[in-house]
Amino acid sequence: MEKEEISQELQDGFAEFAAEYPQSALALITGLFVGLLEYSVKEQGGDEKQEIKIDGCGKRDITVHAVTPNVEAKAQTRQRLSP
- How far apart CA 68 and CA 43 sit, in angstroms, is 21
pLDDT digits (tens, 9 = 90+) for 68-81: 777 666 666 666 66
What would the pLDDT profile of 9-42 be if each residue is shown by its tens digit?
999 999 999 999 999 999 999 999 999 999 999 9
Task: Please give the torsion angle defined by the CA atoms of residues 36, 42, 48 and 53, in that order, rounded to the nearest 10 degrees.
Answer: -70
CA distances from 76 to 7, 24, 33, 39, 56 (A): 33, 23, 21, 18, 32
Q: Give pTM, 2 decimals.
A: 0.67
